[in-house]
Amino acid sequence: MTRSSWKDALEPAVRERFRDVYRSYDIVGDILVVKIPYDLQGEREEIGEVLLGMNPGVRLVLQVVGRTSPRLRTRKLARIAGSGPPVTEHREHGTAYFVDLSRVFFSPRLSHERWRVARQVEDGERVVNMFAGVGCYSLLIAKHREASVLSIDSNPDAIACMREGIRRNELLGEVVPLLGDARDVCADLHSIDRAILPLPEVADEFLGTAISTMDGGGEINHYREAEGPRSVCLRDSAERLSQILESLDPGGFEILRSRVVRSVGPKRWHVAHDLLYNGPDRR
């Protein structure tokens, strides 16, 4: 059975109503995560068994039953099929991530975006990842570049997963896990060449913190939310971001690249802007 035909395996009555379910699901390691609408909750176990049967590498199916916390990036999940703990190893681009889905958030849908940023990093860079989670960007960068990554998160469970990821990828000393609020941790940082702000909901608030770590300027991979039709959201997001940057340091920034990363709701988008900060001592 192909992934695209998984709905066809359901009973006809369920299949007719299942057209309203989200069309995709996520596989993290050997765990599958799916969203099921309210009117299909009575069939959730049947749906789980179908998903389990059509994905031989999956041992556990979890249903999302709560919203994602914006700061700690956690969400409530419930088992609907399979067995075993919600802990797994997820691999992408030659990098292993240790993930406890009951305690941390992880999205395999951002694999391409993580790789896009990692390829921008040059050997010798000193990078700070201000919302690191389990180390998604941090481990990937250190695995493929000779760079040091200071990896911050306020969720102690994410830090624990990150430490295990550091061990599994043999990156001790190359990725440094730092527990705490990025504002507090960054107050003691300097000589940073690149800052990554991969939390669109709050990243705008931390731009000033990012540039405070850059003694001579650097690059920022910045993520933010945008609303409106896709055709205009990049322009509108760039204009709004330019206003924020001008208030922080007039004339101090250039927007190098902009792209829509993904849809997160009707006419709501996550947008990436790659920025060049020219530094406080520019002439």
* Residue 253, domain CATH: 3.40.50.150
CB 47 within 8 A of CB 40: yes
| Whether residues 16 and 153 fall in one domain | no
In-domain check, residue 98: no
Q: Is the pLDDT at 102 greater than 50, yes or no?
A: yes
Q: Using CA atoms of 180, 181, 183, 188 in order, give the dihedral in degrees to the nearest 10.
A: 0
In-domain check, residue 89: no
Task: Give 39's pLDDT tier (boundaries 50, 70, 90).
Answer: confident
**Cβ neighbours for 173, distance < 8 A, ≥ 6 positions apart:** none
Instruction: Give the domain range for residue 24.
Output: 3-84
| Whether residues 72 and 117 fall in one domain | no
In-domain check, residue 99: no
What is the rounded CA–CA span in Å between residue 266 and residue 264?
7
- Summarised one tens digit per residue, pLDDT across range 133-192 is 999 999 999 999 999 999 999 999 999 999 999 999 999 999 999 999 999 999 999 999
Number of structural domains in the chain: 2
| Whether residues 80 and 108 fall in one domain | no
pTM, two decimal places: 0.90
CB 18 within 8 A of CB 91: no
Out of 25, 50, 84, a domain closes at: 84
Out of 52, 84, 116, a domain closes at: 84
In-domain check, residue 96: no
| Whether residues 243 and 169 fall in one domain | yes
**Cβ neighbours for 114, distance < 8 A, ≥ 6 positions apart:** 92, 93, 136, 137, 140
| Whether residues 75 and 115 fall in one domain | no
In-domain check, residue 28: yes
Q: How far apart are the first and last CA of the chain?
A: 63
Query: Nearest to residue 162, comparing CAs of 209, 195, 129?
Result: 129
In-domain check, residue 118: yes
In-domain check, residue 95: no
In-domain check, residue 206: yes
Residue 216's beta-bridge partner residues? none
| Whether residues 54 and 174 fall in one domain | no
Q: What is the pLDDT of residue 231?
A: 86
Q: What is the pLDDT of residue 246?
A: 95
CB 136 within 8 A of CB 130: no
Looking only at the bridges linking them, the beta strands covering 95-100 and 87-92 are antiparallel
| Whether residues 112 and 72 fall in one domain | no
| Whether residues 30 and 134 fall in one domain | no
Q: What is the mean pLDDT of residues 107-133?
A: 97
Task: Give 42's pLDDT tier (boundaries 50, 70, 90).
Answer: confident
Q: What is the pLDDT of residue 3?
A: 46
Q: Using CA atoms of 207, 182, 205, 268 in order, give the dihedral in degrees to the nearest 10.
A: 100
- Summarised one tens digit per residue, pLDDT across range 217-248 is 999 999 999 999 988 999 999 999 999 999 99
Q: What is the pLDDT of residue 123?
A: 97
| Whether residues 108 and 39 fall in one domain | no
